[in-house]
Amino acid sequence: MRVVYWGTYDTGKPRTRILIRGLRENGLEVIECHADVWGGIEDKSQVSSWLKRFHLLFRWLSSYPLLVLRYLRLPKHDVVIIGYMGQLDVLVMWPFAKLRGVPVVWDAFLSLYDTVVEDRNLIGPKHALAKLLFFWEYLSCRAADLIVLDTQAHAGYFTEKFKITGKLIDAVLVGVESDTFPIRPQSSKRVRSNGGLTVLFYGQFIPLHGIETIILAARRAANTPLQWVLIGKGQEESKIRSMLDDHPLPRLKWLPWVPYEELIRWIHRSDICLGIFGNSGKAGRVIPNKVFQILSTGTPLITRDSPAIRELLSPEMPGVFLIPPSDSDALLEALRSFHKQRPKLIGKALYRNVMKDIEPFSIGKKLVGLMGGLQKTFTDARNAQA
C-alpha cells in the first residue's frame, strides 16, 4: 500500500513521528508532502503576541498552494493521511483527494474546541471564536473518510460532540519511541538508605495535568524525605509560581524546560513518575505522551484513573497506581503504597505485556488495519455509484 502523509502536520510531536515510522515498519510506502509550519512551537496556545500570531497564520495559509501543487504531481497512491494538527489541512485536501479518487484519513488526535473552550477555559462557549472553532471542526469531520483519535473514549466524544454518523471513526494509541525511552538500568533501581524517593513530573503546565494537586501533595509531605522535580511551563505557570511563593518547598525543584532527548536521564534518576491529575472531561479521555514514555522505561507510575487509562492499564499491574482526579491525599497515599511495595518491584520487568501494544510497529499495524477496512468501504461505495 502506498500512502501520502500530507499537510502542515507537526513533526515536533511524537504522535506524528510514531505513526509515520509505524506505517513504514509495516511495509507501507509513505510519501511525505509536508510544510513545516509548527517548528519551534511547543505549546500553540502560548503564541500570545499579535505579531507572532499574524506571522504564524501567514506562514500557515501561504504553504497551501505549493502543497496542493506538489500533491497533484505525486504518483498514484491508495490513501491520503492528514496528521496533527490537520483541522484546516483536511478541508483543503478534501476536493483534491476527491479529484484523485482516494480516501482521506484524518488523525484528528484532539479537538481544538475541546482544548480551548472546555479544557483550558481560554474563552467561553458563547464566544464567537468558540462557535467558529466548533463549526470548523464540525466541517473537518465531514471532510474525512476515516477519523482517528488516540483512545476509544476520545473517539466517543467526537462522535457525540460533532454528530458523526455514517463515517468510520476509531482509535489508535499514541505509543512511544521506545529507542528514545529505553528501560532504565539496574543501577538506577537501588533502594536509598534514608528511605527517600525522587518523584518526577514533566509536561506542559495546563489544567489537564493538574499540577496544583502535585503542589498540594508536596506541601503535606514537606517533613518527609520525598524529593519532587517539576519540569515544564505553560498556561498555569504563574498560578504555580504564586503557590510556591506563598508556601516555599525546599525539597521541590522546578526546571522550566529540558531538551526532549534529555528527558530520559531525568526519568532514569527518578524512583516514580507522575502522569496527569486534572478533573476535566478531556483529562478523562486522553493518555498523554508521558505515560507511554514512562511505561517504556519501566518506571513506576501514578496517574489519574479514567476511562481512557483503563484502555491501557489497570491498578492490578505492578508499578501502576491509579487515583481519583484532583486528589492530593490520594497521591500521597499512592506514594506511601509504592514505598511499601518498592523492594518487590526492584528488578522486575514492569509493563512487558503493555509494551508490545505501544511500540511503533504495533501502532502502525493498527492504523494499517483501519485503512484496509476504509479502502473496502470506499471501493464498495464507489462501485455502488458507478
pLDDT digits (tens, 9 = 90+) for 16-52: 999 999 999 999 999 999 999 877 665 555 555 666 6
For residues 42 and 204, what is the distance between their CA atoms, to the nearest angstrom?
A: 9
Out of 57-61, 221-225, 375-379, 381-385, least confident range: 381-385
Dig out the grid coordinates for 293 from the structure.
514514555
**Confidence grade of residue 191 (pLDDT, cut at 50, 70, 90):** very low
315 and 322 in contact (C-beta within 8 Å)? yes
What is the average pLDDT across 123-133? 95
Closest CA to 122 of 45, 49, 54: 45
pLDDT of residue 61: 83
Summarised one tens digit per residue, pLDDT across range 255-311 is 999 999 999 999 999 999 999 999 999 999 999 999 999 999 999 999 999 999 999
Q: Phi, psi (5° rounding) for residue 212? A: -55, -35
pLDDT classification of 212: cutoffs 50, 70, 90: very high
Listed range (11-20, 115-124, 224-233, 345-354) with the worst mean pLDDT = 345-354
Which residues, 6+ apart, have CB-to-CB distance to 190 below 8 Å? 346
Per CATH, the number for 2-175+359-385 is: 3.40.50.2000
What pLDDT digit, counting tens, does each position of 324-335 carry?
Answer: 999 999 999 999
Looking at the chain, which residues constitute the CATH 3.40.50.2000 domain(s)? 2-175+359-385, 186-355
Average pLDDT over every residue of 121-129: 94
Phi and psi angles of residue 290, each rounded to the nearest 5 degrees, phi first: -60, -35
Alpha carbons 99 and 122: distance in angstroms, whole number: 39
Query: Domain 186-355, what fold?
Result: Rossmann fold (3.40.50)
What is the rounded CA–CA span in Å between residue 383 and residue 386?
A: 5
Please give the Cα distance from 293 to 82 (Å, whole number): 24
- pLDDT in the model for residue 239: 95
- The reported pTM is 0.91
Give, for 104, the enclosing helix (H) or strand (E).
Answer: strand 104-107
88-106 core/surface letters (b: 16 or more CB in 10 A; e: else): bbbbbbbebbeeeebbbbb
Q: Which residue has the higher pLDDT, 55 or 255?
A: 255
